[in-house]
Amino acid sequence: MKTEKIRCPWPTVENMIHYHDTEWGVPVHDDRLLFEYLILEGAQAGLSWQTVLNKRENYRAAFDNYEAEKIARYGDRKSPS
């Protein structure tokens, strides 16, 4: 018997569908990915999730791919001291 995957009504564009089908509700144990989600959730305040996903690559670049050790060394101008 084939089980049909049911999708929620909110993913209506490709990046939202991909996020829904591959990430949303999936347990995460990777610290870097958890940190990314934390930053994205914070950015979502006041923005739609679609807007955040559209800018996801920009966030990765701005936060040096969420490398915590590198971010911890940021100075006043972002660059590591």
In a domain, residue 34? The reply is yes
Q: What is the mean pLDDT of residues 14-24?
A: 94
For residue 32, give the nearest of 63, 58, 54, 57 by alpha carbon: 63
Averaged pLDDT, 12-37? 94
Q: Of 19, 59, 69, 74, which is the active-site residue? A: 19
Judge whether residue 67 has pLDDT over 70.
yes
- For residue 15, tell me if it sits in a domain: no
Catalytic residue list contains 14: no
> Which whole number is the average pLDDT over 51-76?
92
Q: Does some domain include residue 25? A: no
Q: Which of 10, 24, 41, 67 is catalytic?
A: 41
The pLDDT score that the predictor gives to residue 28 is 95
Question: How much is the pLDDT for 46?
Answer: 84
Q: Look at the chain and report how many structural domains it folds into.
A: 1
Q: Is the pLDDT of residue 81 over 80?
A: no
On whether residue 62 sits in a domain, the answer given is: yes
Query: Which whole number is the average pLDDT over 45-71?
Result: 92
Identify whether 49 is a catalytic site residue. Answer: yes
Token pair of 44 as six digits: 């979502």
**pLDDT, average across residues 46-73:** 92
- 10 a catalytic residue: no
